[in-house]
Structure 1
């Protein structure tokens, strides 16, 4: 009996080793988030098995887990490029610019929509990328430019269809308390971040249906996590995330897969130039009513410039995690519904989704509000008595 048991143990150990090796081989081919998730899952399952079961049954269950993960990872393998055509919006700078270069290097045929086809970003793409990449004028708030871009893409793809649309174009506006944000900022954020993505999607869906391709929308952690100072931006990204979730269900019958990218804190040019920020600040001050300006104080408003320096200080400069996740969404046999590149993104998203609101609000208040940074009226010792 002991000999039989020993032989079974050796067999189980051999099977586990082989399956574990196969899973590791698959992991090497799995970009970014896929590999991290599987490694964490394997570690948790292995630990639970060893703690709760005998060695024999632990090996059995662990082998079964490795087999299932091998099947799962097989579906996560990337499809060949095969001259697939991808449209990217917002390619002047930031994520869209880096993604255009990255996909061009991988062999994709890339159409890059830019806000200014004569700008430095567009010129750099023409200079550094292959002839497969085409720069097209595409302001996502301009219906005629969307139609013109559609015509250029149709001319290229003809009956093949378009493989993927990446709605990346976005603006931030001026980050400050929601009461102070001008209505023009709210409308501009919705026009670019939401309505622009919707209109581009609607225009190019007939081409995606032909290829049974991919729709990838670049949202933000701010579209799920309620972040102070970002009422306009966060609301527009939340709308984009909900639109994506509905389209994912509706387009599944056509074979189109929809993914949402929700990056954490990465340093891009979405903050704009200092001249652009100065203009936004001036517009904000010009549109405030006297009573609101008195309560908040001009010194409080001017202090919000510190937000830009903090983003530049703590934002990640390496966009590789974002690019790998977008590549996976475009190329994987079965892409994920949501991607959260960035070290801070997933913990915050998980905490907001499953944690208690009162706890989130408490820590958020501790981190974001101090007496010295309070609006003018709140710094006055007799403010509460006046209010009563």
Structure 2
């Protein structure tokens, strides 16, 4: 699959696209109700698409649609065919709920295995997974993919950084799946503990969840004496390893037999020529339970036009740090401003003036900082009551968003 000729790849994509559109149009009212699935062919079966490029005539899916059809409104198969259900924070009051058939889970194992193979992972490795709670679903997918390759896995477990480092050292971990932020945190902790990296068996870092900046890669590789491998996925839906690095380390190969990528102008929605930077839009080609049709990811990216020395013919993706929307990326977990506002209102019974931002905490791990304006409605006769309310708000945000949180009270004029 990795070395399909362009005409073979396009034919495979077209066949799978038509099957996906037929299934979605037939089984999902959301798609049935949008009669303009194919421009100029109102009411006609969307399989009338004759070329992959014709997908540009279809409407976009957005994150708000995932919450609006909570919980099972976007499922394209009966519930009896669902074998796993995932939940992630959504952009509306409802969370995002996604389902997977057995075939879907096999697909994810295949993609994860493909990405691991490209990174040189074999059955001789001991693979440790260390991801934030908000990426717990990814932890399961990475575990399943590694186990399908007979790799020994230390599953994603909520441990303190010092405990993760202990496991890394004592269990002779040779490959670590984590985010760039957590990798930096563990590295700083290791040097603080005066643990020599040569005492570790670690050889590879699989970095996920966030764009990997060149300076961060150089820093990790030089301090840990490892090789780093970057992978891309969606934290809300459907999962990890949608794109992965090969040995060339210049762009991420997209699994084009499972996903159809587009780059569009984030304002007009027009498809941009290959090589131009814009918003990444993805369409699933093999997902049965939860098909995405032109899903706007908000990720800023470009499709690279050059061929790869590794021989893989799948297109490569360059993934940028800034986004085309206002979503915050915190250690790989996507947080929408509306989610923050909703939880603040639930905790305080009103929405004060506030400012949310991503900050670096100890060891350069990222956290969500919400600076809230001092407001008379916050205060009572006892300071302990105010402290309790702020503590409850921090806990609510942390629990519901799956990211570290810090609340600060500030003068309104400083916001």
TM-score (norm 2): 0.30
Kindly indicate which of the two structures has a greater share of residues assigned to strand. Answer: 2
